Every structure is written in structure tokens, then in C-alpha cells.
Structure 1
Amino acid sequence: MARGAARWRRLRARAEERLPVLTEIASRLLGGSLLDAGTRLAAQAFLAAVPLLFAVAAFAPASVRDQLRESLRAMFGLTGRSDVELQQILGDSADEELRETTGAVGLVIALVSATSFSRAMARVCERAWALPKAKTRVAAWRWVVWLLALFLVVLVQGPLRNGFGVGLWLGVPVFFLVSVGIWMWSQHLLLAKRVPWLHLLPGAILAAAATSALALTARLYMPAALNRALGEYGSLGLVLTLLSWLIVVCAGITFALTIGAVLAQEPPLSHHLGPMGDPPGGAADGDATPAPERDP
């Protein structure tokens, strides 16, 4: 037994010496904070998305509502009772006064909670790269721009995932390539340009792969899960199912961005990506607060 343990320690030490990137990834994954960060990100996403959905249903033009409905159907493969619920929210059959009232409340709540979602995503990116928080005056407008871009991305999910009418065989690779670009741009924006573009590529590829795989899984799993939850628990079941799915998605994104940051900073990939260098503008321009000093 002792001999086997000693042999395992030697193998582990040899692996750590030859592939330090694996050690760093294992340390990050086993640290426990990534899953917590993904859960907080999912909670903020849910708190921003639900009231925003009611606000869109109340104030957006019919063409926007129809496009959003088709995109949500494509994202989750909605059929049956869950599709009827979505139609009731975004359709024209709801009472106009009631919809405007709930939409106004949803808009207020969405505006309050939306920037919290942006801040949570920015913090996920900053923790992945071990960077301090950007100053509010630098980051605030980036939070708003990212939210608007995210809404537009959700709005075009229907035609994008269906390959613009051609089918999944085109939609899947197009969705993956678009996702790589989105996650590169998202990191670049939310990190306030403190990391070079090329170094963001590993995390963007991993996040795109995770979201693409989960998108395909959602079309298979979510319709039955949502309809079963609605049948057994009503609207509460719908909320719990969507929140559970958001936790899986946000945890996958958090893990992907963190692993991508480690890969970009550790050999052998760091040799090909080149040095990080100084961020554009740097801390001298007040783009970021300096890292806090540790007590001795």
C-alpha cells in the first residue's frame, strides 16, 4: 500500500513538472469557487431574463415578439404546454392593460437587475485571468453594451440555429463559429481590453464548444422536462427547470473561460500565443484598480 502511494506521488510530481498546466487547471477546478461563481451567474441571468421577457411582451413591436418567440423555441425545442405558455406571454391574446402593467414592473426590475448580470459575467472573466475589478467609470458603459448585444444575439437564435432555413447540419457549425466570436468579444469588452485578443481565443473556443453541446442537448432534453414540470408543479416547476438549466450553462461557461485563461498563460500554448504584454492604456490610465495588498 505504501509502495503504491509512493509510486503515485512520483508519477504526480513528474506530471506536474512536465505539464504544469494540468496542475493549475486541477487546482482551479478543485478550488470550489468556480461552481459557486457559475451558480451566482445563473441566478443573476434568471433575475434579468424573466422581467425583461415581460417587458418585451408589453412594449416591443409584434415583429420583435414573434422573432423572440421563434428564437426561444429554437433554443429549447419548445412543444406542447410549454410552447402554449410562451405564446400566452408573447402573443397578442393577453389583456393589454394587464400586459402593460406587468411589463412596466418587469422593465423596472430588469433595469435594476440587468447590470448585476453584467457585473457577474465581468467578475467571472476577471477571476479567470486573476485580474482586479475594473473601475466603475470604465466598466459601466461596457455592462450596458454587453447586455444590448446579448439581447440581439438571443433574438437571432432561431435562424442561426436552424442554419438560416438550411437545417442543423449548417446551423451547428455556424452557431459554433459565431459563438467563438461572441465569447472573444465578450471577454475583450468586459475585461476592459486588459488581455490581448489572441490570448482570449482558447477560452472562447471552449465556451463555444460548451454552449454548442448544451444547445444540442437542450433540444433533446428541455421540451419533455419543461412539459413534465408544468404538468406536475405548474409555473413553479417551469421556473425550477429553467433555473437548473441556466446553472448548468453558466457553470459550463465559467469552467470554459477559466480553463481557457490557464491554457493561454501556461506552456506549451503560451509559447505560441506570445507574451501578454501591457494592456492597452494600462493601469496608468485608470482602466483598472490595482490589486489589493495582502497583509503580512
Structure 2
Amino acid sequence: MRSVKLSVALAREVSVARAQAASGWLRGTPYGRTVRRVLEGLAQVQIVDRSLALAAQIFTSLLPVIIAASVFSGWHTAAKTISDQFGFDSESLAADGESTLTDPSIAAFGVVGLLMIVLGGTSFTRALARVYEAIWKVPVIGARDAWRWLAALIAVAVAAGLVGQTRELTQIRYAGRPLALLGEAAIWACVWMLAPFLLTKGALTGRLLWASGILTAVGLTAVHVAGRVVLPRMATNAREHFGPLGLAFTTVSWLFVMSVVIVGAASVVKALALDETAVGRYLRGPVDKDRE
């Protein structure tokens, strides 16, 4: 029962923090100590460095898998996801006006993308697992559990494709856009509950998983809403000045913002789980006093 052990460990951390309470709002009050834990947690996990690494892995590992799968399946997931999440139409990148996703060279790239799933496509989920290891202090995934990397990769890739499909809901009159946002949030919530479950080998309790999933989903959906405002102009300016290289830089920059949400949400949930009020007690769940 890894989840029970984790709950006990969290409860012990709370007891130690309460015993070491000092004067001042950040140290002397439960809410202050929670804010302090959030700030310390973000610093300890090195959120900027880990988010940069995660964004790079999404760009070089996850996106090629989505594109390759789109080429072979005929389901234009990549085009819809890129257009919906990053603010520019991938089909407009073709010089001859044809879709880049149906170009033979891209089909060859799709083969490479599928090969990356086998050889190196799990780089993204391995980086994500290291984030969870640093935050939750869970054991490293070994060779026997390597399937978890692939399962998490497929889950995130499929979720990204489904999010691209939610744009179809915007065609519904009046309620289309709210439904699309709700659909996107629901998809992200599900996948960001499943990913930490897989990559921590089930160490997190159900309450911690749904809290992490919902917080991540809210953050990613908010980033998407903001992106609809700022990304089209950013992408247009970048393409005019630097061509495809500018679009790549814009994409990586926005992936960094999304990665900050993913890493930050997990760190915030850890801080809330150490909260000394009802919020923390609920997230930790019931703890057997004999185990403390």
C-alpha cells in the first residue's frame, strides 16, 4: 500500500512543520506555512529548469508522435491540435498550398515518429516521471515498469488529439464555446490524473490524483484561452520575421508556459497536502494512527 505509506509520510511532515512553527505570518500560521511550502516547493523542484526540459521533450518527442500517428491513421489530429493550441494553421506552412501533413516527406517523417515511440518517444514521460519523483519522493521507475512510460505517452498523445477535436463543439450555436472549454478541461483532467498514477506506480491516493488533475486542467485551459488572444499575433510576427524558425520558437515558448502549469500544479498539490487545515487533512485522507 504505497498510497497509505505516502499519506503517513505527509502526516509526519505536517507534524514536524507544526512543531517547528515560529513567529511571523509565513511561519507562525497554518495558511502562512502553506504559502511558504508552495514557494519553497516551486524553488526546490527547480520549476524553470524542469519546465524548459519538459517543453523541449514535448516538442521533440510528443509532437512528432502525434504527427506520425495522424499521417498513418488519416485522423488529422496534429493539424487540429496545432491550430487550436498554438494559434496558427499548420496547413498554411506549405509553400504550394497543399497540406503539410499529407506531403510524402511528412509521411516519411511519420515513420520516424513511430520509430521514436519505440526508441526514444518516451523521453517526455521519463522527464515527467523525474518531476514526480522530485516532488513526491517516490521510487524511480525501473526497467520492469518501463511500460508505464509508453502508456503515459500514449495517454497524453491521445488526449492532445482529443483536445484538438473539441474545437468542433464551437460550431454549436450559443453554447459551443463553453462546451468546447468544458470538454477540453475534462480531457486534461482525466489524463493528468492518469499520468501521475502511472508514473508514480500508484503511490498517490485518489484524492491527490483528482486534485492534481483538476488543477492542471484548469491551468492548461486558462493558458489555452489566453493563447487564443496573444498567440495568433505572436505567430504571425514570428513567421514574418524568422519564417518557420520563428514559428518553432513560438511553439517552444508556449510549450514552456504549459509545462510550468504541469510542474507547478503538482508542486502546489503537494504543498496543499501538507496543509494543516481541513484542506490538507482531506487530501491526505484517513491515516491509521498506529502507522504514524
Into which bin does the TM-score normalised by the smaller protein fall? 0.7 to 0.9
Which one of 134, 138, 160 corresponds to residue 131 of structure 1? 138
Which one of 82, 91, 96 corresponds to residue 72 of structure 1? 82
User: Structure 1's 161 and 16: CA in aligned 2 closer, same or farther, altered over 3 A?
Assistant: farther
1:247-283 superposed Cα distances (whole Å, 9 cap, x missing partner): 11101210111111221233222222344769xxxxx
**Does the Cα contact within 8 Å between 1:37 and 1:124 map onto a contact in 2?**
yes
Distance 2:26 2:192 in 1: 35
User: Structure 1's 108 and 128: CA in aligned 2 closer, same or farther, altered over 3 A?
Assistant: same
Partner of 1:41: 54
Q: Which amino acid aligns with 2:187?
A: V
Partner of 1:159: 165
Partner of 1:116: 123
Distance 1:207 1:53 in 2: 21
Deviation of 1:245 (Å): 0.8
Query: Does 2:96 correspond to 1:84?
Result: no
1:98-149 superposed Cα distances (whole Å, 9 cap, x missing partner): 34444334443454332111111112122221223132312x1111111112
Corresponding pairs, count: 260
Q: TM-score, normalised by structure 2?
A: 0.78
Q: Which deviates more from structure 2 when the two are superposed, residues 251-260 or residues 169-178? A: 169-178
Q: Which amino acid aligns with 1:85?
A: L
Which one of 236, 251, 259 corresponds to residue 227 of structure 1? 236
Superposition CA RMSD, Å: 2.7
| Aligned 1:237-276 pairs, distance under 5 A | 237-268=246-277, 269-275=279-285
Q: Which amino acid aligns with 2:72?
A: A
1:49-105 superposed Cα distances (whole Å, 9 cap, x missing partner): 353355346x4143x13x4323332223425xx5411763213xx3x3x34444334
**Does the Cα contact within 8 Å between 1:125 and 1:190 map onto a contact in 2?**
yes
Distance 1:201 1:212 in 2: 16
Moved over 6 A (4+): none
Specify every segment of 5 or more residues in structure 2 that has no aligned partner in the other structure, as ranges. 1-21
**Does the Cα contact within 8 Å between 2:25 and 2:32 map onto a contact in 1?**
no
Partner of 1:103: 110
Distance 1:257 1:14 in 2: 22
Q: What fraction of aligned residue pairs are identical, expressed as a percent?
A: 26
1:187-224 superposed Cα distances (whole Å, 9 cap, x missing partner): 11111101111122322222111101011112222222
1:164-196 superposed Cα distances (whole Å, 9 cap, x missing partner): 742212121232233222211211111110111
**Does the Cα contact within 8 Å between 2:159 and 2:188 map onto a contact in 1?**
no
Distance 2:67 2:53 in 1: 22
Which one of 210, 220, 226 corresponds to residue 211 of structure 1? 220
User: Structure 1's 258 and 239: CA in aligned 2 closer, same or farther, altered over 3 A?
Assistant: same
Q: Which amino acid aligns with 1:122?
A: A
**Does the Cα contact within 8 Å between 2:26 and 2:35 map onto a contact in 1?**
no
